[in-house]
């Protein structure tokens, strides 16, 4: 069974938690696995590393751009300057060539009850909203929850392109494995290797197939494992949640947790590179639509 593509939902938790859940429900209805990271500003440490891993493991990102700035790293980012964690998620996704959908929520959009932010943060968020609205990348202005849900459901065709590229990548991998298998057969017939060497080659092919299968399963199961890890002990630091998540995946997949931590982000990055041609084509089309940039 092909794993469901993961779509990361970026939003300020204190303001748009309900709206984010609505988007998650719509994505599940369309056959995708939603993922996100709750951030309330009380967490210790820098969360950017964890956010990068989540974005790398996703097929695309949907950002709800509301009125709140949200929590931010203690120091400005070297590449993007002073940005909130929510803004960072979309900026990093774009940098990595991910498909990003900006859903620009009107000021009268019904948000969750929350404390007002300081004037300084409101100015920063207003500036970000202006850049989204005046840039070259597509964005969608929305004024209500019904409009938000309808727009996500209308993204079906765009999302289908992500699923199609994922299948194309899988076909490419299968073709590569077939070539490797044929090479093994040729080596057997040519007698260029000893029986021992052939056995090692065949074992390597089988091991490669098994590892790639488990890594794909790991990417698909990561959101579920993380949710389970978060519920296991409330109040954990992000690093503790991540450690529990990899431990849970390691137990399920039968892979050493340390090895999984090293290889899963690399594998997600390989998935991204396999879609580079389509990304370049998408950027070309976006430049000529003269809409929004994030």
Name 211's Cβ contacts closer than 8 Å, sequence gap at least 6: 263
pLDDT tens per residue across span 44-66: 789 999 999 999 999 999 999 99
pTM, two decimal places: 0.57
CB-CB contact of 100 with 137 (8 Å) = yes
Nearest Cα to Cα of residue 106 among 138, 149, 140 = 140
Return residue ranges of the chain for CATH 3.40.50. Answer: 6-157
Q: What is the dihedral of CA 109, 114, 119, 123, to 10 degrees?
A: -40
pLDDT tens track for 85-133: 999 999 999 999 999 999 999 999 999 999 999 999 999 999 999 999 8
Q: Which CATH class, in words, describes the domain spanning 6-157?
A: alpha beta
Show the tokens assigned to 134. Answer: 């005046």
Question: Ramachandran region of residue 41, left (φ > 0), alpha (ψ -120 to 50) or beta?
Answer: left
> Side-chain half-sphere of 6: how many Cα atoms within 13 Å?
22
């Amino acid at each position: 069974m092909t794993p469901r593509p993961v779509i990361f939902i970026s939003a300020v938790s204190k303001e748009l938690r309900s709206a984010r859940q609505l988007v998650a429900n719509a994505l599940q209805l369309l056959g995708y696995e939603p993922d996100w990271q709750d951030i309330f500003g009380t967490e210790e440490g820098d969360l950017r590393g964890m956010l990068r891993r989540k974005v790398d493991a996703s097929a695309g990102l949907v950002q709800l751009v509301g009125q709140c700035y949200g929590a931010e790293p203690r120091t400005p980012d070297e590449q993007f300057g002073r940005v909130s964690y929510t803004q960072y998620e979309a900026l990093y996704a774009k940098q990595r060539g991910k498909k990003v959908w900006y859903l620009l929520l009107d000021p009268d959009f019904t948000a969750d009850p929350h404390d007002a932010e300081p004037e300084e943060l409101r100015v920063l968020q207003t500036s970000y909203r202006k850049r989204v609205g005046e840039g070259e990348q597509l964005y969608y202005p929305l004024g209500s929850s019904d409009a938000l849900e309808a727009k996500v459901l209308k993204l079906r065709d765009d999302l289908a392109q992500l699923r199609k590229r994922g299948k194309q990548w899988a076909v490419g991998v299968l073709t590569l494995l077939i070539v490797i298998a044929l090479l093994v057969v040729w080596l057997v017939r040519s007698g260029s290797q000893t029986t021992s060497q052939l056995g090692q080659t065949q074992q390597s092919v089988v091991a490669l197939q098994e590892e790639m299968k488990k890594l794909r399963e790991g990417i698909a199961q990561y959101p579920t494992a993380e949710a389970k890890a978060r519920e296991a002990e409330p109040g954990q630091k992000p690093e503790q949640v991540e450690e529990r998540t990899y431990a849970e995946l390691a137990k399920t997949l039968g892979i050493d947790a340390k090895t999984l931590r090293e290889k899963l982000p690399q594998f997600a990055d390989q998935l991204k590179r396999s879609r580079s041609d389509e990304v370049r084509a998408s950027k070309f089309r976006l430049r000529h639509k003269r809409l929004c940039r994030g």
